[in-house]
């Protein structure tokens, strides 16, 4: 008698890398071309920072901050293949992109209760399969079994230029030198925190996209995806 096929392992792509390396745009484009879901995990940390800021607790003692975080509900909702973030049921996705929230997110992402809180949310969506997840610790901590792991890098100058243009489009004329310094500070914190630091997984492929278009990077990744 024919044995039933073993379940196909959930397919997933993990894209990790520093701020402004282009992870989210690339993950989104890869997900679109595969018809998969894109899960931007930075937005979860941003949602926690947003919730703490709203309640004036960003600088609270760790135990107070953790009590607050534990009572919040943070979930993903999928609309047309894109993940939105629900904070206590409210879609806050559009409020999370400000620079200030990014800075606070980087700071509070070092607190163990914050990472613990967000681990399950990320694991759940990752294990569903057909997902491209981008972040800092996807290939090392959240989805070590991912089908394909990419560590995305770009030169500091290229990253600063990209962030500069992104901010300019939003109407902010922040000096490029300030952006460069801010990125260096963020890298230092993300790479050197004791918990789940930004690190290349041993089986991750490095992609330096400094001189590549998004489309070229998408094609590069699609060619590496096992069939």
The conformation of residue 3, written as its DSSP 8-state character, comes to: P
Q: Dihedral (C-alpha) 154, 158, 160, 164: value to the nearest 10 degrees?
A: -130
* Smallest separation, CB 184 to ligand DC (Å): 13
Taking contact as CB under 6 A, which single stretch among the options 25-33, 50-58, 68-76, 130-138 is the one that binds ligand DC? 130-138
Among 37, 39, 105, 179, binds ligand DC (CB under 6 A): 105
- The site map against ligand DC for 106-125 (x = CB under 6 A) is x--x----------------
Taking contact as CB under 6 A, which single stretch among the options 7-15, 73-81, 99-107, 169-177 is the one that binds ligand DC? 99-107
Cβ nearer to ligand DC, comparing 113 with 219: 113
- The site map against ligand DC for 42-61 (x = CB under 6 A) is x--xx---------------
Nearest to 133 by CA among 214, 9, 19, 23: 23
By beta-carbon distance, which residue lies closest to ligand DC?
42
Interface with ligand DC, residue 41, by CB under 6 A: yes
* CB 88 within 8 Å of CB 52: no
What is the C-alpha to C-alpha distance for residues 148 and 224, in angstroms, rounded to an integer? 8
Both tokens assigned to 134? 């981008």
Place of tokens 């500069």: 164
Nearest to 99 by CA among 35, 218, 186, 41: 186
* Smallest separation, CB 220 to ligand DC (Å): 21
Nearest to 127 by CA among 4, 14, 25: 14
Interface with ligand DC, residue 102, by CB under 6 A: yes
What residues line the site for ligand DC (CB under 6 A)?
19, 41-42, 45-46, 102, 105-106, 109, 135-137, 186, 190
């Amino acid at each position: 008698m024919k044995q039933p096929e073993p379940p196909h392992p959930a397919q997933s792509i993990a894209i990790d890398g520093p701020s402004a390396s282009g992870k989210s745009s690339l993950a989104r484009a890869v997900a679109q071309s595969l018809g998969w879901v894109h899960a931007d995990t930075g937005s979860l940390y941003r949602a926690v920072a947003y919730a703490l800021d709203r309640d004036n607790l960003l600088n609270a003692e760790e135990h107070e901050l953790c009590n607050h975080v534990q009572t919040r509900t943070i979930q993903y909702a999928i609309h047309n293949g894109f993940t939105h973030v629900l904070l206590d049921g409210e879609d806050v996705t559009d409020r999370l992109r400000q620079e200030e929230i990014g800075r606070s997110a980087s700071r509070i992402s070092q607190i163990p209760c914050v990472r613990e809180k967000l681990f399950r949310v990320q694991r759940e969506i990752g294990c569903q399969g057909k997902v491209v997840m981008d972040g800092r610790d996807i290939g090392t901590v959240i989805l070590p079994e991912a089908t394909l792991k990419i560590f995305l890098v770009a030169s500091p100058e290229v990253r600063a230029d990209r962030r500069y243009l992104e901010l300019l489009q939003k109407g902010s004329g922040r000096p490029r030198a300030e952006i460069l310094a801010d990125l260096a500070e963020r890298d230092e914190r993300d790479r050197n925190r004791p918990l789940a630091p930004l690190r290349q997984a041993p089986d991750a492929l490095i992609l330096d996209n400094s001189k590549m278009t998004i489309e070229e990077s998408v094609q590069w990744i699609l060619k590496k995806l096992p069939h």
